[in-house]
C-alpha cells in the first residue's frame, strides 16, 4: 500500500476494481488497476488529491481533458506512441494501424507500447482498436480488462 499515494474505487460495473495512484516527487508516474485485497486510500499529497479530482470529473463527464504533471518512463518509441494517444480526442477511436502510419511503425509495435502504458485513462490507450474489432487492453483480449475498455469507450459515447 505504501507504493500508492491514493487508491480510489473505479466505476466499472462489469469489472470492479480500484485504481492505485503512484506519484514520484511532483509527477504522476502510474495508475494501476488493482483487483484483490486492497482498500481505498485517501490522497496523501496535494497532487494525489488533484489526480483523484480529475479522474472523478472524467468518470462523471467522460470528456474531461487531464491537466496533470506526468513523468512517462519508457523507451523513446513508447513515449512517442503515448504522446500520439494523448492527442486522440475523447469520443474517437483510432486503429493501431492509424497510429503506426503516423509514427512510421507497425501496428504490433504500437500495440506493445499501448500494453506498456503506465497511465491508463490519462493516456487513453482504450481509444485504440484493431482494424477488425476492439483489439486488446492491458495485454488481454478477453476478461476484465476488455470489460474496462468497453466501459471506457461507452462512457465516452464511442
CB 134 within 8 A of CB 149: yes
**Which grid cell is 23?**
506519484
Helix (H) or strand (E) holding 88, with range, is none
65 catalytic per annotation: no
Query: How far is the C-alpha of 22 from the C-alpha of 74, rounded, in Å?
Result: 16
Supply φ then ψ for residue 130, to 5 degrees. -80, 165
CA-based radius of gyration for the chain: 15
Query: How far is the C-alpha of 135 from the C-alpha of 114, rounded, in Å?
Result: 11
Catalytic residues: 125
Amino acid at each position: 500500500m505504501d507504493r500508492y499515494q491514493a487508491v480510489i474505487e473505479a466505476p466499472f460495473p462489469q469489472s470492479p476494481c480500484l485504481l492505485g495512484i503512484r506519484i514520484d516527487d511532483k509527477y504522476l508516474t502510474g495508475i494501476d488497476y488493482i483487483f484483490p485485497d486492497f482498500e481505498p486510500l485517501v490522497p496523501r499529497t496535494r497532487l494525489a488529491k488533484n489526480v483523484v479530482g480529475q479522474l472523478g470529473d472524467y468518470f462523471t463527464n467522460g470528456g474531461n481533458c487531464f491537466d496533470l504533471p506526468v513523468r512517462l518512463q519508457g523507451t523513446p518509441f513508447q513515449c512517442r506512441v503515448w504522446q500520439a494517444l494523448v492527442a486522440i480526442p475523447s469520443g474517437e477511436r483510432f486503429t493501431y494501424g492509424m497510429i503506426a502510419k503516423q509514427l512510421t511503425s507497425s501496428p504490433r509495435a504500437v500495440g506493445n507500447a499501448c500494453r506498456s502504458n503506465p497511465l491508463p485513462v490519462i493516456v487513453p490507450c482504450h481509444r485504440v482498436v484493431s482494424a477488425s474489432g476492439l483489439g486488446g487492453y492491458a495485454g488481454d483480449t478477453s476478461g476484465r480488462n476488455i470489460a474496462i475498455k468497453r466501459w471506457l469507450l461507452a462512457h465516452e459515447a464511442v
